[in-house]
A = this chain, B = another copy of it.
Amino acid sequence: MSKSCIRVFADVEQIQQCKEEINKVTPSIATVAKALSLSGNEVRLKILYLLSKETKLCPCDLSDILEMTVPAISQHLKKLREGGLVTSEKVGQTVFYSLVEENIQVIRPVLASLFNGSKKEQVI
């Protein structure tokens, strides 16, 4: 922290510029990072992917499809809902979850890339 880089080539101006730039985007970064960290979980990414394919699904469906307990699914859905990425609608005793289109924009391209049948494997 703080006691600044003393490197010969440290470009003080560049660093100052970056600090200002980063301050400007910090609010958006926080928002985006939140969405990415929600989508960065394999189970939740699968849920988002499935919702983008099927439009709406209930916890029970997701439990069957992903072969996980209902409470586990429910807790993931809760996080997605609180993060604004999905919304829910109760019909009888069934709760249908669906994507919140405006807030899913950030990861739209990601989901889109998954639609192309898992080609182009990345080395990660």
Contacts and interface: CB of A to CB of B under 8 A. Distances in A.
Interface of A: 1-2, 4-5, 7, 9-10, 14-15, 18-19, 21-22, 24-42, 45-46, 49-50, 53-54, 58, 60-61, 63-69, 83-85, 94, 102-103, 105-110, 113-114, 117-118, 121-124
Contacts of A102: 122-123
A31 B64 contact: no
B45 A5 contact: no
For the complex, would chain A's binding face be called helix, strand, loop or mixed by DSSP majority? Answer: helix
Contacts of A103: 122-124
Given A22-B46, A63-B5, A39 B29 contact: no
